[in-house]
């Protein structure tokens, strides 16, 4: 039986085959727009898939476009949703629907990798930070604009401030460098502060796992963090494995 995993974010669709032993194959990332997502998927995916597992935080129109493209080639589509308890993980939110499924799956992926406490940081449109303890209790998290979104927001309000470009400097001597240094630095500072608070709460420093399209820029300034590009897909694989076993 052929099975594939799909992580639909706000800027990319990440896909990977799911092997029979629960491992994921090589992941691919497709930039997407509603009008061309079907063509991109046709170019990179098998003509037929038995089952597709989808996690989506994208807006409704894009989600429907992906579902339509999957329906044309899949025997079954299973959509992941945040659950209050799953496997060993227990979510802190009183209303689990308010915790994005990407954060939920990243926590599942972290549990599968670390088998202990972890600080899980996603860097996409938003910067999300979640803490899970060694027993699988989610202790809550934070949400902030990602560095990319900060740059976009500044450019939208003040077009003279460039949306991209620049090199990180502790104290920059031109605008482009100052922008990337300030925005990336804000993300790094929030993660470092969260790690200090987490260390105080847990009694020891948890490993830091970074994922998301913007994680590479922050990983350079967080030498003790581990970048896991496929963390959400790994969590989705765990979700699919448990769902199938049930």
Residue 211, sorted as left (phi over 0), alpha (psi -120 to 50) or beta, turns out to be beta
From 102, 133, 184, 216, the catalytic residue: 102
CA gap 121, 113 in Å, rounded: 14
CA gap 8, 11 in Å, rounded: 8
| Tokens, residue 19 | 């092997």
With 0-12 CB in 10 A as exposed, 13-18 as middle and 19+ as buried, what is 48? exposed
CA gap 61, 59 in Å, rounded: 6
| Tokens, residue 11 | 């800027």
130 catalytic? Reply is: no
> Strand, helix or coil at 121?
strand
DSSP structure class, residue 35: T
DSSP structure class, residue 159: T
Catalytic positions, written as ranges: 102
């Amino acid at each position: 039986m052929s099975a594939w995993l799909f992580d639909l974010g706000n800027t990319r669709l990440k896909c990977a085959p799911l092997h029979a032993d629960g491992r994921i194959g090589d992941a691919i990332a497709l930039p997407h727009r509603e009008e061309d997502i079907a063509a991109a998927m046709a170019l990179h995916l098998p003509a037929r898939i038995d089952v597709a597992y989808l996690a989506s935080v994208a807006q409704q129109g894009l989600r429907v476009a992906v579902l339509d493209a999957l329906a044309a080639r899949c025997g079954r589509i299973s959509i992941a949703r945040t659950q209050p308890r799953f496997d060993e993980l227990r979510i802190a939110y009183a209303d689990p629907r308010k915790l994005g499924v990407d954060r939920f799956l990243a926590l599942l992926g972290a549990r599968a990798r670390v088998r202990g406490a972890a600080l899980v940081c996603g860097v996409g449109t938003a910067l999300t930070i979640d803490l899970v303890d060694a027993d699988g209790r989610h202790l809550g998290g934070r949400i902030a604009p990602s560095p990319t979104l900060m740059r976009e927001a500044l450019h939208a309000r003040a077009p003279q401030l460039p949306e991209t470009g620049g090199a990180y400097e502790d104290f920059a001597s031109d605008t482009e460098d100052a922008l990337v240094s300030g925005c990336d630095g804000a993300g790094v500072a929030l993660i470092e502060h969260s790690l200090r608070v987490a260390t105080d709460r847990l009694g020891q420093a948890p490993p830091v796992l970074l994922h998301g399209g913007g994680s590479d820029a922050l990983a350079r300034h967080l030498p003790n963090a581990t970048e896991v590009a496929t963390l959400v897909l790994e969590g989705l694989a765990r979700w699919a494995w448990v769902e199938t076993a049930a």
